[in-house]
Amino acid sequence: MSDRNESAASKRLRRAIRGIALARRATNAEPLEVMSAPAFRSVVADRLRALERDVAEVRARVNGLLFVVAGAVVTQVVLRLFG
């Protein structure tokens, strides 16, 4: 395809793809690691357990924040009624 027949969008797309390819080469990206199915399942299971722990921690923090907010609301109500 000649440059004369290419549209401006096509040229930009071609330059962007070339830039991505050059950036990938510059980072020396390692090829994907090949592993057996049981090893893959083990890695996935470990990551899932770690994710479950993280979600449990976030959940505990959110519950704590809700408890603090509820306590503040109750305190304000009591102060307005009896204060």
pLDDT digits (tens, 9 = 90+) for 17-64: 888 887 777 666 666 678 899 999 999 999 999 999 999 999 999 999
Q: Is the dihedral of CA 21, 22, 27, 28 positive or negative?
A: positive
For residues 11 and 19, the answer to whether their CB atoms sit within 8 Å is: no
Chain segment 8-19, per-residue pLDDT in tens: 888 898 888 888
pTM above 0.85, yes or no: no
| Distance, CA of 5 to CA of 14 (rounded, Å) | 14
The two structure tokens encoding residue 41: 């399942």
